[in-house]
């Protein structure tokens, strides 16, 4: 019997000119277009149908792209047609947590900020 990891990798198609790190997780029927870069720790999972990624995309670390089943549909549901997820060209998928933390620290040092307003936590009376 074939190794499931190898069998799964057979459905991954990588176009010439794409850069895909071995440490990324790519599962299912995935097509990656030219000039697309996939960083280590990025995850692309095609459970409910194929994923087609166009040209010139950047998928950074910790990004998760998943084509999953709707909540009310199970994988073995009879009559379910797989749906293709298509990602166009020149998109960027990134984890923003580090960038947000960085900007929250740096921006106040170099820019004047607008004052924050207190949000009324008391519900309105009717």
40-93 confidence digits (pLDDT tens): 999 999 999 999 999 999 999 989 999 998 888 877 778 778 899 999 999 999
pTM for the full predicted model: 0.71
Beta partners for 12? 30
Answer whether residue 9 shows pLDDT above 60.
no
Residue 9 resides in a domain: yes
Q: What six digits make up the tokens of 15?
A: 């176009």
pLDDT at 79: 79
3-state secondary structure of 91: coil
> What is the rounded CA–CA span in Å between residue 124 and residue 119?
12
3-state secondary structure of 124: coil
**CATH code of the domain containing 106:** 2.160.10.10
- Contacts of residue 22, Cβ cutoff 8 Å, sequence gap at least 6: 40
> What is the rounded CA–CA span in Å between residue 30 and residue 65?
11
Residue 61 resides in a domain: yes
Answer whether residue 10 shows pLDDT above 70.
no
pLDDT at 97: 75
Answer whether residue 110 shows pLDDT above 80.
yes
Strands 85-87 and 43-53 come out as: parallel
- For the chain, what's the residue count? 126
Domain span at residue 58 reads 4-110
Give how many domains the chain has, as a whole number: 1
pLDDT at 80: 79
Answer whether residue 6 shows pLDDT above 60.
no
pLDDT at 4: 45
> What is the rounded CA–CA span in Å between residue 5 and residue 124?
57
Share of the chain above pLDDT 90, in %: 55
Q: What is the DSSP letter of 23?
A: T
């Amino acid at each position: 019997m074939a190794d499931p990891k190898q069998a799964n990798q057979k459905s991954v198609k990588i176009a010439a000119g794409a850069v895909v790190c071995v440490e990324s997780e790519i599962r299912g029927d995935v097509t990656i277009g030219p000039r697309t870069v996939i960083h280590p720790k990025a995850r692309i999972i095609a459970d409910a149908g194929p994923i087609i990624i166009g040209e010139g995309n950047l998928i950074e670390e910790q990004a998760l792209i998943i084509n999953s089943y709707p909540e009310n549909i199970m994988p073995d549901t009879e009559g379910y047609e797989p749906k293709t997820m298509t990602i166009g060209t020149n998109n960027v998928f990134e984890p923003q947590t580090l960038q947000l933390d960085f900007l929250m620290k740096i921006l106040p040092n170099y820019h004047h900020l607008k004052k924050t307003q207190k949000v009324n936590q008391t519900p309105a009376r009717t």
